[in-house]
Structure 1
Amino acid sequence: MKRLAIYCGSATPADPVYMDCARSVGGGLAARGIGVVYGGGRLGLMGAVADSALSAGGEVIGVIPQALVDAEVAHRGLTELRTVEGMHERKRAFTDLSDGFVTIPGGTGTMDELWEALSWAQLGYHAKPVGLLNVAGYYDTLIAFWAKMGAVGFLRAQHRDLLIVADTLDDLLARMAAHVPTQPIVRMKTADL
């Protein structure tokens, strides 16, 4: 994996474990020679990922909608900052520029990005690994919900492993490197759907 899209929040929570995670991910990826593609912001976890990767000599590509540039939240010190019209173009660029996706803690925007990466993998729009770093149990209930979707029947058995979960970056990257794409919906027969 040469580049990973990192999905995370633009907020700075009171508990330092989340900012520490962002710094660890940014620096850890740069130390491994893995570039970062992210939302292009300078605030919160997003800024911490970027700054840590840059400080460690890593490549950081930001993709940010013009409206957020206008709101003065763009990080101006990146390897490259791409400005796009809206969120759809932003997420398409994340997919085009990266070899996989890592989600660390965040809010609704982060969830939107994670679910779209999973949905696109399920449909067959990409075959890249989708990782979730479960820092301090932040995603425990989301992981339980993913399992419930499978148990109820809304998530096909062949797609249950699309979400790759780990508690540490080392473990997550190892699991993502071992990812084997599943059969996407677009290649299934009607009887399998």
Structure 2
Amino acid sequence: MKTVAVYCGSSTGVDPIYMQEAKRLGEVLVENGLDLVYGGATVGCMGAVADAVMEAGGKVIGVIPEKLRNVEIAHHELTELHVTKDMHERKSLMAEYADGFIAMPGGAGTLEEWFEVFTWAQLGYHLKPCALLNINDYYSPLLALLDHMIEQGFMKPAYKDLIVFEHDPVLLINQLKDYKGDYIHKW
């Protein structure tokens, strides 16, 4: 594992813990020799994780669609900044760079981007780990929803088992590094 995609909010959230943990995740990535690919913005949790990686001497690849370049304020101090024509191109490029995926707290965009790569894992398009960093129990309701989907017969239990789920960035990164990706997709 060399590069991790982090999906997270362009907002800071209401609790300072989100920004603190975004910075901590950035530091942990560098401590583990991992590069960051992310949404390319200077604001919110996105900016915090990128700044922390750069401050610790790590490599940061930003990928931002042209339409969001000025809205989310593209970060021009990165190792690399790619401006794409649209979200589809952004997601494709981030997935190409990444060896694993982490969703931190964020909004609908964060979920949409993470769920796409998670769905790709379910379908066997890649064997890369998909993780949820459950800061402040942010993703606990989502796990309850996934359990409900399983109970109602709309999701196989094995798919939930593909998710690396952790509250602490250090423990999460350790699980990503140990991830084997050797599951066999069964229809």
Partner deviation per Cα, 1:126-182 (whole Å, 9 max, x = no partner): 110001110111111001111222222211233221111011112212222332333
Equivalent position of 1:183 in the other structure: 184
Equivalent position of 2:62 in the other structure: 62
Q: Is the 8 A contact 1:158 1:183 kept in 2?
A: no
Partner deviation per Cα, 1:22-72 (whole Å, 9 max, x = no partner): 100111111221000000001000000010100000000000001112446
**Mean Cα deviation higher: 56-65 or 142-151:** 142-151
Aligned residue pairs total: 186
Larger Rg: 1
In structure 2, the gaps of 5 or more residues are none
State the distance in 2 between where 1:147 and 1:157 align: 8
- List aligned pairs for 1:41-56, cutoff 5 A: 41-56=41-56
SS at match of 2:91: helix
Amino acid at match of 2:7: Y
Shift in CA distance, 105/162, structure 1 to aligned 2, threshold 3 Å? same
Amino acid at match of 1:149: M
State the distance in 2 between where 1:178 and 1:151 align: 29
State the distance in 1 between where 2:33 and 2:25 align: 12
Amino acid at match of 2:32: R
User: Sequence identity of aligned pairs in percent?
Assistant: 44
Q: Is the 8 A contact 2:42 2:72 kept in 1?
A: no
In structure 1, the gaps of 5 or more residues are none
State the distance in 1 between where 2:49 and 2:119 align: 25
Q: Is the 8 A contact 2:6 2:38 kept in 1?
A: yes
State the distance in 2 between where 1:163 and 1:32 align: 20
Q: Is the 8 A contact 1:9 1:110 kept in 2?
A: yes
